């Protein structure tokens, strides 16, 4: 029951985040924004998290996850509802910044909770449950958002998505027992973030995390743009994106068995090779069933690596600095998420969608080669 509670809590925050990201892309296009403007909006989801993630991790290490979660759910709800009150491009810029920053706190706090829950031997399985929760919310979020857009409108869809973090905040408020947290350390030597990068296992994990996150997050950026170029309805785009999330759910169901049979770096290398192949093929097709099939293959590839990465990250972190290590990873990821959508939006406006997909495929194949070299 405890692990189910934590999974639901994470799902409520992530569902709103995923839904708002998709709705913002289509909302901006509906308001007359360009693809480059959409790239700026997507970058704003990551701008402050890039700068604040390490500090957020340290804060959560110091005071625990409960109060940061309460504040983050409140800000996430406010940010999602803001475009309903003022449906214009300027409001979307503020909304993206608030929603991205709030979800960053939720993400770090929930990783801290799951890492501290259970025994070290159970950690990979525990993070598989967290990953399953992400898959559930990634499946539901685009469908809910797409249906709400088609039936109600963009602004109303944003207001509806704000209800999920409100419910999440209520659940945290109603939980009177302390949430799991890593063991407190009275004094931590070498508190600078650079010493985290000097730990080989952490450094390798950070590198692979960035490459995988590029594949994951650019999917959520590129797919709505590609679907809009093809003239697909918002509901259809949501269904295509949910196919990706459904694949991540399916592969994560078997991850507890996979991690017992295959070496971790073998899984990550194979995951990036599969994802790179799917990205090469994606812009060559316009049929919805084929796009759904490629999304499913892409979800299989990217979905299986996340639990392994978080387990490796938690195990390699110095005592008392697990939240800081997650924050460091989040900061690195958001650095790429800030710059890459800007570059991708500009490149797609000039050269079309194909080169963006293929450049991403090249990064993923490079990541597969790097992970392959870590196999011992």
The domain ranges of the chain are 2-175+199-373
- Alpha carbon distances (Å) from 14 to 100, 116, 196, 213: 11, 20, 27, 15
Domain 2-175+199-373 part of CATH 1.20.1250.20: yes
pLDDT in tens, 50-93: 888 888 888 888 888 889 999 999 999 999 999 999 999 999 99
Look-up of token digits 């499913």: 296
Crossing angle (nearest 10°) for helices 66-85 and 89-116: 160
Which has the closest alpha carbon to 65: 117, 16, 100?
Answer: 117
Q: Tell me how far apart the alpha carbons of residues 164 and 238 are, in angstroms, rounded to a whole number.
A: 18
pTM: 0.72
| Cβ neighbours of 369 (radius 10 Å) | 12
- For residue 62, give every residue at least 6 positions away whose Cβ sits within 8 Å of its Cβ, in sequence order, or none: none
Buried b (16+ CB within 10 A) or exposed e, 159-190: bbbbebbbebbeebeeeeeebbbbeeeeeeee
Report how far apart the first and last C-alpha atoms of the chain are (Å, whole number). Answer: 38
User: Is the Cβ–Cβ distance between 209 and 312 less than 8 Å?
Assistant: no
pLDDT in tens, 300-349: 888 877 777 777 777 777 776 767 777 777 777 777 666 776 677 677 76
Spans of the chain, pLDDT less than 50: 187
Phi-psi category of 184—alpha, beta or left, where left has phi over 0 and alpha has psi -120 to 50? beta
318-321 LR contacts (CB < 8 Å, sep 24+): 318/188, 318/190, 318/196, 318/199, 319/182, 319/183, 319/185, 319/188, 320/61, 320/182, 320/183, 320/184, 320/185, 320/188, 321/61, 321/185, 321/188, 321/196
Task: Give the CA angle between residues 277, 281, 283 to the nearest 5°.
Answer: 135
Widest pairwise Cα distance in the chain: 58
**Residue 249 has which token pair?**
């759910």
pLDDT at 187: 46
């Amino acid at each position: 029951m405890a692990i189910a509670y934590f999974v639901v809590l994470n799902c409520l925050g992530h569902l709103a985040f995923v839904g708002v990201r998709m709705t913002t892309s289509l909302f901006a296009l509906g308001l007359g924004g360009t693809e480059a403007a959409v790239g700026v909006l997507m970058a704003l989801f990551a701008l402050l998290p890039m700068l604040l993630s390490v500090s957020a991790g340290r804060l959560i290490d110091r005071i625990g996850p409960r109060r940061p979660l309460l504040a983050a759910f409140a800000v996430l709800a406010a940010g999602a509802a803001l475009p309903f009150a003022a449906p214009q491009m300027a409001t979307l810029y503020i909304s993206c910044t608030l929603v991205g920053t709030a979800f960053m706190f939720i993400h770090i706090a929930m990783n801290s909770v799951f890492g501290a829950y259970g025994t070290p031997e159970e950690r990979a399985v525990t993070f598989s449950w967290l990953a399953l929760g992400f898959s559930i919310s990634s499946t539901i979020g685009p469908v809910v958002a797409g249906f709400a857009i088609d039936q109600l409108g963009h602004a109303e869809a944003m207001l509806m998505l704000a209800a999920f973090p409100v419910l999440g905040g209520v659940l945290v408020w109603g939980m009177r027992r302390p949430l799991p947290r890593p063991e407190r350390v009275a004094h931590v030597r070498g508190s600078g973030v650079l010493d985290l990068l000097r730990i080989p296992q952490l450094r390798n994990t950070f590198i692979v995390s960035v490459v995988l996150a590029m594949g994951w997050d650019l999917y959520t950026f590129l797919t709505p743009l590609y679907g809009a170029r093809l003239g697909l309805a918002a509901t259809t785009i949501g269904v295509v994106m949910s196919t990706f999330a459904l694949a991540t759910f399916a592969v994560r169901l078997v991850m507890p068995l996979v991690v017992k049979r295959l070496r971790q770096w073998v899984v990550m290398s194979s995951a990036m090779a599969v994802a790179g192949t799917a990205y090469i093929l994606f812009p060559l097709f316009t049929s919805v069933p084929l796009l759904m099939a490629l999304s499913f293959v892409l979800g299989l590839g990217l979905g299986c690596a996340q639990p392994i990465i978080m387990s490796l990250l938690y195990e390699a972190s110095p005592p008392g600095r697990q939240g800081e290590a997650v924050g460091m990873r989040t900061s690195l990821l958001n650095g790429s998420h800030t710059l890459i959508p800007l570059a991708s939006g500009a490149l797609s406006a000039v050269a079309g969608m194909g080169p963006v997909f293929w450049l991403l495929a090249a990064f993923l194949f490079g990541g597969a080669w790097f992970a392959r070299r870590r196999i011992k």
